[in-house]
Structure 1
Amino acid sequence: MLKVASALVLGWIISASLFATAALAADIDLVLEWHAKDGTVIAERTLDAAAVDALPQVEFTTETPWTSGDQRFSGPSLGTLAALGGVPVSSARVTALNDYEMDVPAEDWEESGAILASRRNGETMPVVDKGPYWVMYPISSDPKLNSQFYHGRMVWQVKAIVFEAE
């Protein structure tokens, strides 16, 4: 009887923590900054999940090395986010919740279709599953994108993006 009660309590704790983690994904704001080449901040903006969802959305289906089978990703183009600063940009430094950073050149969103996915298969992504935001490329549609070179740019758990002005 004690084992059954312990299993029920453990199951409830796990369920509650997963629910809380999923809820927290929506509470993580996306911090955007635009910097001049000398590092001076030109503009800054913080978007909540509703503001990100209100931007024009791009959707595609692709496989990734971290998921099983085709997955449908949607979110704003990195170009749409870059344009919010009102200045032309040459690259974006994307930062994850664990402070992993990667530079993504403008060509990646202009020519390769990189987006900041906020949904996978129509659902928001909890932090425990690479959310709330994940830089995503349509790698199934272009074999050159399915390489370690681009995989390294597919930052997940994104919390901030700094765009470098031209």
Structure 2
Amino acid sequence: MSRSSRAHRIPALALLLALATALLGAAPLASPAAAQDMLVARWVDDKGTEIARRGFDLDALEALAPIAIETTTPWTEGVVRFEGARLGALAALAPEAGEIAEARLTALNDYTIAVPAEDWSAWDPVLATRVDGARMRVRDRGPIWLVYPLDSDPALQTQRHHARMIWQVHEIVFVAAGR
């Protein structure tokens, strides 16, 4: 390669780099904090085919069938007030999905747990976004934590139910019953 052809390539590469930087700078990028404030809810059939999908920011989630429960948990001190949306109300947002058999909740760290529909019928767990009136941060098990009213029924004082109290929830997949 001759010296003159290399000399022409350097300005061309610099121009391409400048153009790429300008284009990337013009595209709005979601901050990690903004991404954590979103909940994606999907409804699928029993084969995994998507029926519906909705995204929620925290304000929209809090406005959906709000509920408050006061309970103790293995991870908090004393009785704590949790506020948020009812899991069952969220499940019902896609009537085209029919009867829902379970919800599969996934946390930011990819931990996933299945919650049977019987749980939200029997105990009305909350997708808590607030604890004692303050929005939960990721470092405080937020922004969304599925909380059962543990003090309301001795049947909830089991490892199985404690394991279902998933925090840092970012996705819920509602699985339709035998469609």
TM over 0.5: yes
What fraction of aligned residue pairs are identical, expressed as a percent? 49
For structure 1, the 5+ residue unaligned runs are 1-22
Matched residue, 2:148: 137
**Separation in 2 of the partners of 1:146 and 1:127?**
25
Cα distance, 1:25–1:112 mapped onto 2, change above 3 Å: farther
TM-score normalised per structure 2: 0.77
Task: Determine helix, strand or coil for the equivalent of 2:161.
Answer: helix
Structure-2 change in CA distance of 1:99 and 1:26 (3 Å): closer
Q: Alpha carbons of 1:26 and 1:141: their partners in 2 closer, same or farther (altered >3 Å)?
A: farther
| Structure 1 Cα separation of the partners of residues 34 and 78 of structure 2 | 24
Segments ≥4 residues shifted beyond 6 Å: none
Give the paired residue count: 144
Gap runs ≥5 in structure 2 = 1-31
Contact 1:27–1:49 under 8 Å retained in 2: no
Q: In 2, distance between residues paired with 1:110 and 1:137?
A: 12
The answer to whether 1:69 aligns with 2:78 is: yes
Cα offsets for 1:48-91 (capped at 9, x unmatched): 11110111111110000000000001111111010111232110
After TM superposition, list the pairs within 5 Å mapping 1:41-120 onto structure 2: 41-86=50-95, 87=97, 88-120=99-131
Work out the CA distance in 2 between the residues paired with 1:142 and 1:26. 35
Counterpart check, 1:146 vs 2:157: yes
Bigger radius of gyration among the two:
2
Q: CA deviation at 1:27?
A: 5.2
Q: Report how far residue 25 of structure 1 moved.
A: 7.0
- Counterpart residue number, 2:46: 37
How far does the alpha carbon of each residue in 1:110-154 deviate from its partner, in whole angstroms, 9 at most, with x for none? 011211111111111000000000010000111111211100000
Equivalent position SS for 1:118: strand
- Whether the 8 Å contact between 2:42 and 2:51 is mirrored in structure 1 is yes
Retained in 2: the 8 A contact 1:25–1:126? Answer: no
